[in-house]
Amino acid sequence: MTTKEAEQSLAVIRALMERGTRYTHISSASAFAAGLVTLAGCAVRRSAILPFGDRGNFVATWVGVFVFSLAAIVAFTAISARRNRERVWNRQAQTVVLSILPAFFAAIIVSQVLYQNGLRDQLPGIWMLLYGCGALAMSFFTPQAIRALGIAFMVAGGISLLLVPGHEVAAMALSFGGIHLGWAVAVSLQRQAELAARRAASVVMQDR
């Protein structure tokens, strides 16, 4: 067995071990959908087509984006689990959800306080930071790519709050839109490379 073949075999073994210890059904398709929904929300905000006034339009747009994004995450995660003939709501899924709940709860409370005090321009940056915190908490129980997502959102949140506060539409488009889409593409390419390595390793084992 050559060095390359050995590396491919180790990649297969590593992937199988990770499947047993981490929740692997978080789909890049859900991040792609969340990115597209966010960009659609940005278009709605920019066009001002909703009839509820600026404050009402703000709430209606981003609550709608959140609901559709959450629905996409649940749907694609369930599809991935069923494709692998595993339970959707298993112990690993419960652990992942529990890990992100503190950040989610904090986001609701902080958003309400800032909104009531007329500081909604700060909300996109706060959302980025708390989303990043939630993703980093999840990364202990999910594939390592989630950690990169969390770090990216925390950096984006810091930049948004400290260097370019406000700019609601641009901030949401670049973060929840752009980062999600970029991450989804990167993860898809990585998984394709891993699948190719598994196939190659399988062929090598069959030839032995």
Residue 42: its pLDDT value, please?
97
Distance, CA of 55 to CA of 73 (rounded, Å)? 27
pLDDT, greater one: 141 or 195: 141
The string of pLDDT tens digits covering residues 188-204 is 998 888 777 767 766 65
Structural domain range at position 96: 3-207
Average pLDDT value for residue range 133-159: 94
**76 falls in which pLDDT band (50, 70, 90)?**
very high
> pLDDT above 70 covers what percent of the chain?
86
CA dihedral 154, 178, 40, 157 (to 10 degrees): 20
Q: Give the count of domains, the chain.
A: 1
* Claim: this prediction has a pTM higher than 0.95: no
The string of pLDDT tens digits covering residues 25-53 is 788 899 999 999 999 999 999 998 999 99
Q: How many residues does the chain have?
A: 208
